[in-house]
Structure 1
Amino acid sequence: MSGSKIFRDRGKLSPYYIPKVLPHRDEQIERLLSIYGRIVEDAERGAYLRIVQLVGSAGTGKTCTALRFGELIVEHAKRLGVNLQFAYLNCKVDGAKRHVLYGSLAGKVVPTLSTRSLSPEAILRQLVEYLRREDRYLIACLDEVDYFVQANPKEHIVYDLTRIPEMFPGEPSPVIGEIFISRSLKWRERLEEGEKSTLGLGIIRFPRYTADQVMDILEERVEEAFQPGAVELDALELISDVTASPPVNGDMRFALDLLYYAGTLAENMGAERVRPEHVRRVYGELNPTLTTEDIMIKNHTGSLLDDLRGAG
C-alpha cells in the first residue's frame, strides 16, 4: 500500500519470500554446502548421486533452507564453470501422481519435453539423457514427500529416483543430488526395505524454534517489511512467546502470519504502530493450526479476518 505508515514491503512476510540470511539455520545450510559442494567441485572427474533428508516439524525452516541452499550451490557451481540446476518441487502442489510429479520435474529442467505420452519411467530416462547430452547436472528437491508417500502408497517414487544412476551402470550420474523434505521419519515406515536402504543415513534435522530464536527472526523481518519504529518491541515479544508455546510449537510461518495480520489490523485502525493489543486480537481469532497458505484456500466466517483480507 503506497504511503503506509506501517508497512514498507509486506511481501517480506510472505511464506514464499526467501531471505538472504536465515538466522539459526546456518548449520543446516553449511552441512548441505559441505555435502554437495565437494560433488560439484569433482564434477569434471565424475559425479555420483548423494541423497539427503531434511526432517523437522512445520515451520522450522526446512523449505527456506533448501531454497537458499539451492541459490548458493548454483552460484558456487557457476564460479567453477559447472552447469548445475536446482529444481524444487512440492509434492502436494506439483504432483498428485507419479507421472505428474516426474512431468513437473522434467518441465523445470527441459521445458520443451512433452511428457503426455510417456510412462513415468520414460520421463525420468528422457530427463537423464538430456542432462548427459547437454553436460548438465541436477539437484532435485522434493518437499512434502511424506504426504505423497502416504497419499500414494503404490507410487514408488523413492525407488525410481534413488535408482537413477542404474540407468547407466558404472558411469557418473548427472543427477548429483536428491533432497527429500518431511516432517518426521515416520513416512519411511511405508517404504519397502529396498527403498529404505537407498535413502541412506544422510539426515539433517530442524529443531523447533525457541522464543529467543523466533524473536531474532522477527527482528530481521521487521527491518525489511515495516517502516522504522512501526512495531513495538512488546508486540514482537508477545508473538515470540505465543509461537514458541503450544499449540503453535515453534512454527515460524505462524509467527510471520500473526505479525502480518497484526500489522494489517493496526493499519486499518489508523494506528501508528503495531502494539500487543493488535497481536492479541488477531491471535484470538486466528486458528493456530492454519498458515497463510491455508487461509488462501479456506473460507473463514470471522469478521476480523474477512476485514483483514479485504484490506490486504
Structure 2
Amino acid sequence: MRKSDISVIIPTYKRVNFLVQAIDSVLDENGVDVDVLVIDDDPESAELGEVLSSRYQEKVRYHQNPQNLGPGDSRAYGLTHTSSNFVVFMDDDDFYTNPSAFQEALQVLQKHPDIAFVGFSTRNFKESNQRKTTVNSYSLLGVVDATSYLNKFGRDIAKPASTFSSVFRRSSLEKAGIGEVKMLNDTVIYLRALTAGNAYLSATVVGNYRIHDSNISKSLSEDFIIQNLDEKAAIQKRLPFVNVLERQIWLYRQTWMSIRYYIWNHPGEPYLKIRRWAGSQTGLTSLLLRLRIFQTIHKIRGENLP
C-alpha cells in the first residue's frame, strides 16, 4: 500500500460516468498527494477496470469485489487496504469543486490534534436539470466539542450531507472501533468518529452532493434499517454520557430518525422487524420508540383514507 497524504475510498456500482467525474475532481486537488482506491461492487463486468486503466493508468488503484457486497462492506475493504493518516469516504456520484479542500483540511487537522474530522459545507446538485441549489451548512463553526455534537447530532447540529465533504483522522477512527462496524454508512462513520475526538466544521463549500433518481437512500430495505439501528445501539455503549436516562434518550432520538424515514417512505408495510427491534430495547428507548411508531403509522393511515 502506498503511503500518501490522504486516502480516498470510492465504492461504486455501475455508474461509470459519475465515477469518472468524481475521480477527476479528486485528482484536481492541489498540493496534496492522494491515494485513490476504487472498489467495484459489480463482479460480472470488466468494463470499469478497463476504463480506469486506460484513463488513469497508475493514478488510481482498482479492486473488483468477487461478489456484490454493498457500499458499507466496500468502504470497510477500502479502509483496510489503505494506509494514509487521513481518509475520505467518497460516494461515486459526488464531486469536488474546490481544488484547495484537501489542503485546508490537512492544515486544520495538523493544527488541532484533538479533532477526529474536518467537515466542510456542500451544495445540492440536481442531476435532472444540472442546477446547484441549497448550500448544506452548519449552525456552529470551528472546533465543536464531541460530547455536545453527539448530544445534538442531526438536530441542533447538522450531520454533513455526505462523507466526501469530510476528511477523517485514521487514528481516531481506529480508536472508535471502526474495524468492528458491520455496516459502514455515513451516519455511523460520523458518530463513531465523535466518540474518539472533536469535530471541526467549516463554511467552505468544497463540492456538490448529487441528487438523482438512483440515490441509495431511495431504496433502503427494512433489513438495512435494522443493521443501522444495531450500529447506533453499539455506539451508545461508547458515549461519554454518564447518566443512564441521557443515554437511553440519545438512542431513542438517533434510532427514531432512521425509523421515521423508513416508515414515511414505505407506507402500508407492517414494519414487523422494526417493531420487534424497538420492543427489544430497554427503558425509555423502547417506550418512546413504540409510542412514536404507533402514532406515525396511524397518522399515515389517516392521511391515506379516501
- Same fold per superposition (TM over 0.5): no
Q: How does the TM-score come out when normalised to structure 1?
A: 0.26
Instruction: Using CA pairs under 8 Å that are at least 6 residues apart, name the structure with larger relative contact order, 1 or 2.
Output: 1
* Structure with the greater alpha carbon radius of gyration: 1
Structure in which a larger fraction of residues adopt helix: 1
Q: How does the TM-score come out when normalised to structure 2?
A: 0.27
Structure in which a larger fraction of residues adopt strand: 2
